[in-house]
């Protein structure tokens, strides 16, 4: 099972927050087809996304995401292989962190950062 965790910024020059429901809708349909699960966090400007699946599915999705004009400044925080899925329930869970105090940047910057610590950090947030 391969996974990717990245951050990016909404391309505000050409899109606004109304692009986000579209992104989530497509993601859910496509991810179910391709066996991708994960979670997308959005604070009104910045995205943080974690996704996992077969190597082929993850590589294809990453290539799509990297050339998607709706966001920019994409930084791959962590990628690798793991034994099991972290998310079984969601094609792509969505978490609005705009009025939340969760410190994703701090979590990602932490010396002991791992995908598990990321999941622990966001596990108390409501997935839509
Ligand atoms: C922040 C962000 C997250 C995205 N997450 C997904 C996702 O989880 N699954 C997905 O299929 N597409 C996602 N997309 C959309 C892809 O970039 C791409 O548009 C989609 O895979 C369709 O590609 P295609 O038109 O080449 O088939 C996301 C786009 C953005 C900007």
Taking only the tens place, the pLDDT of each residue in 53-80 is: 999 999 999 999 999 999 999 999 999 9
Tokens of 104: 């994703």
What is the DSSP secondary-structure string of 70-92?
TEEEEEEEEEEE-SS-S-SS-SS
CA 126 from chain centre, in angstroms, equals 15
CA 21 from chain centre, in angstroms, equals 14
Looking at 12-21, 61-70, 101-110, which range is the least confident one?
101-110
Atom of ligand 1 nearest to the CA of 42: 1
Atom of ligand 1 nearest to the CA of 19: 31
Ligand 1 pocket, CB under 6 A: 8, 23, 26-27, 30-31, 40, 47, 49, 51, 61, 64-65, 68, 70-71, 92
Helices (H), the chain: 19-34, 55-66, 104-109, 115-122
Cβ atoms of 11 and 71 closer than 8 Å:
yes
Largest CA distance in the chain: 40
Go through the domains of the chain in sequence order and give each one's CATH number. Answer: 2-122 (3.30.70.100)
DSSP letter at 50 equals: E
Ligand 1 atom 11: the closest Cα is on which residue? 27
Query: Residue 42 C-alpha to ligand 1 middle, in angstroms?
Result: 15
For the question of whether the overall pTM of this predicted structure is more than 0.85, the answer is: yes
**Cα–Cα distance measured from residue 88 to residue 94, given in angstroms and rounded to the nearest whole number:** 14
């Amino acid at each position: 099972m391969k996974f990717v965790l990245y951050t990016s910024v909404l391309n505000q020059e050409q899109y606004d927050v109304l692009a986000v429901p579209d992104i989530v809708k497509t993601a859910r349909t496509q991810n179910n087809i391709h066996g991708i699960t994960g979670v997308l966090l959005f604070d009104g400007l910045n995205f943080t996304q974690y996704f996992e699946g077969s190597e082929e599915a993850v590589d294809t999705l990453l290539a799509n995401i990297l050339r998607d004009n709706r966001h920019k400044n994409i930084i791959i925080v962590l990628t690798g292989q793991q034994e099991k899925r972290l998310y079984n329930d969601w094609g792509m869970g969505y978490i609005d962190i705009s009025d939340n105090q969760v410190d994703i940047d701090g979590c990602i910057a932490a010396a002991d950062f791992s995908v598990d610590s990321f999941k622990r950090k966001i596990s108390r947030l409501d997935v839509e």
